[in-house]
Amino acid sequence: MAAAMREKGVGAGLSAAAAAAAPGEEAAPEAPIVVFVNSRSGGRHGPALTLRLRELISEEQVFDLSVTKPPDFVRYGLMCLEKLADQGDLCAKATREKLRVMVAGGDGTVGWVLGSFTELHVMKREPVPPTGIIPLGTGNDLSRTFGWGGSFPFGWRAAVKRSLYKAINAPVRRLDSWRVVVVMPGGELVERPYSLSPTEQFDSTQVMDISGEMPEKSSCYEGVFYNYLSIGMDAQVAYGFHHLRDEKPYLAQGPISNKLIYSGYSCTQGWFCTPCISTPGLRGLNNILRLYVKKVNCSEWEQISIPSSVRAIVVLNLNNYGSGRHPWGDLKPEYLEKRGFVEAHVDDGLLEIFGLKQGWHASLVMTELISAKHMAQAAAVKLEMRGGQWSRAYLQMDGEPWKQPLSNEYSTIVEIKKVPFHSLMLSGE
């Protein structure tokens, strides 16, 4: 696999396998594991962690994501195993069938790897390897949800070894994935996050159903998220934080320092106090946004009212958000029945939508003293944005923020639909 990925060609892997072949029957490995390491995640533990992993398994099983991309693993590494299996190599066949993947990184890194496996689902190249996590990020909500921990452990050298052993027999759980399509009038997204890619595949008739006339030229982007998508002030703060961290990387020395910088930065962006020079009414998302949802077994879009006080809306898939917080709350059965909600699960085909009013409200939600503003629970979501006195909005998807330009004349549409297959996760519990 490693040779095929390095040379970006299946033939290189086949040649390497032939050269390494030994006479006699080869024993199939009990639980082959491949590890991807993001050396830029969290506290920059990646380089030392890579060395440790190569001591525990082998250099051919550990890949630095700055050198080897997940799509190359799917297109060349796994394809090489499949070709060898087709040629009668029993070891390659067993490896392909039993392969498990560990990702050392944050939520965005895990999502990148899971997203690359979409090709396996689409091309019917099964089985799809289940994925476990070594948390290196700041929030690590995916890692928390599936029992792999919320932070990189202090005694990490022993902990990494335990994680590899745990991954061998870990049960497999399912995770909903959500496809996002952004349709905007003309132009291009500047500083586009890697989680969004240009595409021309979108249903213009459904966009017309809501926004009316569309411009002659539209730009379209698509991506997939696993944790959340949000719009508003929280995304604006995240956008500024990411730029500050890129400009001054020496400030980002670990999850704790990241959180302190994040909190301090949020105080300067009007999240806690709307600047006097701005019209407070313009801060409410209802000035630029219309929210539509489709409920289970319903084909019609339903518009959801947005309170004027709401300055951020979060569309949530996981139970965890913002470093292990539970903003949706543990709702009582009577309340669920009254609102027409059901208990939230990561594989139920539903998204939870809630609002945050301002920093003080968000702080109480994050400390779990109160629940967020419950708005809807939906099987599909559509956001329609139009500028007015706003020239842009801020959005983020699994921690990757971007600045979305807005038009006064035409709407920008963000549509969220469930991917028709589940991602497979290893449970660390």
- Give the model confidence (pLDDT) of 77-95 as tens digits: 899 999 999 999 998 999 9
Query: What pLDDT was estimated at residue 379?
Result: 96
Q: 10 Å Cβ neighbour count for 174?
A: 15
For residues 152, 62, 41 and 367, what is the CA-based torsion angle, rounded to 10 degrees?
Answer: -40
Confidence band, pLDDT 50/70/90 cuts, at residue 174: very high
Taking only the tens place, the pLDDT of each residue in 187-233 is 788 888 878 889 876 655 555 455 555 677 888 999 999 999 999 98
Model confidence at 325: pLDDT above 80? yes
Beta strands at 392-397 and 400-405: parallel, antiparallel or unpaired? antiparallel
Taking residues 378-399, what's their average pLDDT? 90
- Section 230-249 average pLDDT: 76
- How many Å separate Cα 303 from the centre of its chain? 26
In 3-state terms, what secondary structure has residue 19? helix
Phi/psi of residue 223, nearest 5 degrees = -165, -175
Cα gap 139→321, rounded to integer Å: 8
Instruction: List the single range of 41-55, 63-77, 162-176, 356-370 with lowest mean pLDDT.
Output: 356-370
Average pLDDT over residues 22-34: 61
* pLDDT of amino acid 2: 75
Cα–Cα distances in angstroms (integers) from residue 74 to residues 15, 82, 168, in the given order = 18, 11, 21
Mean pLDDT, range 288-299, rounded to an integer: 92
Strand 100-105 relative to strand 33-37: parallel, antiparallel, unpaired? parallel
**Residues 337-366 pLDDT 10s:** 999 999 999 999 999 999 988 766 677 776
**Domains with residue ranges and CATH for the chain:** 2-170 (3.40.50), 178-420 (2.60.200)
Angle at 65 between CA 62 and CA 69, to 5 degrees: 105
